Each structure stands twice: as structure tokens, then as C-alpha cells.
């Protein structure tokens, strides 16, 4: 019995990993924008692998505002919340609250059920850059990178890579730093997140969701950091809409 259980887990995991060595879309970071994008792309038949550094997908959702595990949205987020079966409650003045645990678990479950493959506890530490196109990611176990062990990584090839790594926009950052590529911003580089301005930040996050370079897209707070947008605190409609928008842009490129 003991051996059977171990064998089943090992076999299934390696099947899953092997099936995802080459995919349509790699999503880096399982926060709200990345998970909505992964859901929408997988639901439309694309092969999607989502790599998350932490053990638990969900990114900045779980903690709500300052550990109070509720987040805010406005009614423009309803269509996405409805798609995932996540509830919302009026807080007056056009604002609504969403239970952070329900939102995180709903997005995780929805993306899984749509067919996206989650790989948690794995960090993306580099990109593949070929013929002036981002063509995949370089991955390693998070404990290996955090313990600074000298262990070489493995590679996942992809038609498109989505940077949904949140505030640090890690993939865009390493692409500009290591590859010296110019990205689709006013300066050609990373402009850096600006201070809090809720209304503006919600809008520009979605506007700044785009292709940065052939093969590389950006969503959520990473889009904000890349294009110099304002932060907006624990209101999540912009993140959800950013995920939906980037999935549409990628679908247009991939023709599905
Ligand atoms: C693998 C990685 C790597 C890597 C990071 O920050 P997130 O929740 O992402 P978004 O942009 O969808 O949502 C942002 C939102 O949570 C937020 O912070 C808001 C609204 N802030 C407003 C404000 O004013 O502060 O999730 C990103 C995920 C995390 O889970 C990271 O662990 C993961 O990406 N990640 N995974 N490889 N190199 N880098």
C-alpha cells in the first residue's frame, strides 16, 4: 500500500510535468490576474502551465487588507466573479466586499477545472530568448533558489509567457536587465510603481495590460510597475479585469 501511494503520486506528477514541457502559455505567478488569465486561456483550449513560487497559489489575495481577509471590488468585476461562482456583498457607495479566502480558492479551483496545470513551489528564474522573442522560462524548485543551492534549472518552452508576478514584475525586470531588450513602455524600460491613487490605479492597470515584447505579456500589478501606474490597495477588480484582458490579447495572437 505504502509503495502504491508513492508510485501513484510520482507517476502522475511526472506525467503532468512531461505534458507541460512545451505549452502555448506559461503564466508566471498565481495571483488574481494570472489565475483569471490561466482560466480563460485554458477554457478556450490553450495549453497553459502556471508556475507559482509559493506553496499556495493566490498571491496577495489571502491577506485581504492588512490581514483582514476581505477585499473590495466594484460592480465591473461581477461578470468575472460570476464566472468563478464567487460571491460579493454590498458595502455601499458602489463598493462590494469579497471574502478573500473564497476569492483565492474560487480562482484556484476555476483555473484548475478549466484545464490549467498548476506547478506550485517552483520559481521562474530566467527566460528563454531566441530570435528576438521570449520563447519559454527557466524553472527551479523554490527551496533550491531560496537556499542558494548550486543546482541547474530545467526549461519549459512556450509560445507566450505572461508576467503576472505582481509588484516586482520579475520577468519583465530580468528581461530588460539580462537581455537588454526594450519593452513597450514610454521609456523602453521599467518605469516603477507610483504611490496610492485608487481610481486611477484601477483603470491604468487594465490599460497597461499588454504585450511588452514578442512572446512576453504583462498583467496585474506587474503591468502597473512596468508602466509606472499608481497602486490601489486591496481593491481587486482591476486585477481580475487585467487577467481577462491579457487572455483576450493572447488569444488574438495565438488565433483561438
Ligand atoms: C514564480 C512568482 C515569481 C517567480 C512572483 O502579487 P500577486 O497577487 O499578483 P497580481 O498582480 O495578480 O495581483 C496583485 C494583488 O495581489 C496586489 O498585490 C494588489 C492589488 N496590490 C495593490 C497595492 O496597492 O499594494 O501574485 C503574484 C504571484 C505571487 O503569488 C508570487 O509568489 C508569484 O506571483 N511570483 N512565481 N516565479 N519568479 N515571482
**Residue given cell 522573442 in the structure block:** 133
Q: What is the pLDDT of residues 144-202, one digit of tens each?
A: 989 999 999 999 999 999 999 999 999 999 999 998 899 999 999 999 999 999 999 99
Q: Is 79 helix (H, G, I), strand (E, B) or coil?
A: helix
Q: Do the Cβ atoms of 119 and 128 come closer than 8 Å?
A: no
Distances (CA, A) of 96 to 88, 131, 196: 6, 46, 20
State the pLDDT at residue 157: 98
Query: pLDDT per position in the chain (256 positions), as tens?
Result: 999 999 999 999 999 999 999 999 999 999 999 999 999 999 999 999 999 999 999 999 999 999 999 999 999 999 999 999 999 999 999 999 999 999 999 999 999 999 999 999 999 999 999 999 999 999 999 999 899 999 999 999 999 999 999 999 999 999 999 988 999 999 999 999 999 999 999 999 999 999 999 999 999 999 999 999 999 999 999 999 999 999 999 999 998 6
List the end-to-end C-alpha distance of the chain, in Å, as a whole number.
44
Question: Which mutation among 165, 208, 229 tests ligand 1's pocket best, with the greatest number of atoms within 8 A of CB?
Answer: 165
Contacts (Cβ under 8 Å, ≥6 apart) of 83: 39, 110
E-assigned strand segments in the chain: 22-28, 48-52, 70-74, 89-92, 95-99, 117-120, 122-130, 133-141, 154-163, 194-196, 210-213, 216-218, 230-231
- Tell me the residue length of the chain: 256
Q: Do the Cβ atoms of 247 and 36 come closer than 8 Å?
A: yes
List the domains of the chain with CATH numbers: 23-254 (3.50.50.60)
Which residue's CA is minimally distant from atom 16 of ligand 1?
60
What phi and psi, each to the nearest 5 degrees, are found at residue 107? -70, -40
Partners of 157 in the β-ladder: 22, 136
Q: Do the Cβ atoms of 161 and 171 come closer than 8 Å?
A: yes
Nearest ligand 1 atom, CA 242 = 12
State the pLDDT at residue 49: 98
State the pLDDT at residue 256: 66
State the pLDDT at residue 125: 96
Q: How far is the CA of 235 from the centre of ligand 1 (A)?
A: 14
Q: Judge if pTM exceeds 0.85.
A: yes
Amino acid at each position: 500500500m505504502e509503495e502504491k501511494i508513492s508510485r501513484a503520486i510520482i507517476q502522475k506528477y511526472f506525467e503532468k510535468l512531461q505534458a507541460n514541457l512545451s505549452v502555448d502559455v506559461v503564466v508566471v505567478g498565481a495571483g488574481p490576474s494570472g489565475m483569471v488569465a490561466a482560466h480563460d486561456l485554458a477554457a478556450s483550449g490553450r495549453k497553459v502551465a502556471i508556475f507559482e513560487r509559493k506553496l499556495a497559489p493566490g498571491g496577495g489575495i489571502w491577506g485581504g487588507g492588512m490581514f483582514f481577509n476581505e477585499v473590495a471590488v466594484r460592480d465591473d468585476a461581477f461578470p468575472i466573479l460570476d464566472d468563478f461562482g464567487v460571491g460579493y456583498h454590498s458595502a455601499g457607495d458602489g463598493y462590494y466586499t469579497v471574502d478573500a479566502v473564497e476569492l483565492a480558492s474560487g480562482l484556484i479551483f476555476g483555473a484548475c477545472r478549466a484545464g490549467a496545470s498548476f506547478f506550485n513551489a517552483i520559481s521562474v528564474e530566467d527566460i528563454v530568448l531566441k530570435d528576438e522573442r521570449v520563447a519559454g522560462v527557466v524553472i527551479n524548485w523554490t527551496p533550491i533558489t531560496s537556499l542558494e543551492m548550486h543546482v541547474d534549472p530545467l526549461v519549459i518552452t512556450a509560445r507566450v509567457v505572461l508576467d503576472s508576478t505582481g509588484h516586482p514584475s520579475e520577468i519583465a525586470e530580468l528581461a530588460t536587465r539580462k537581455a537588454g531588450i526594450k519593452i513597450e513602455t514610454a521609456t523602453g524600460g521599467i518605469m516603477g510603481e507610483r504611490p496610492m491613487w485608487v481610481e486611477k490605479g484601477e483603470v491604468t492597470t487594465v490599460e497597461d495590460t499588454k504585450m511588452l515584447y514578442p512572446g512576453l505579456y504583462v498583467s496585474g500589478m506587474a503591468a502597473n510597475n512596468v508602466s509606472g501606474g499608481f497602486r490601489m490597495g486591496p481593491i481587486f477588480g482591476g486585477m481580475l479585469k487585467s487577467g481577462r484582458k491579457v487572455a483576450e490579447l493572447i488569444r488574438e495572437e495565438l488565433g483561438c
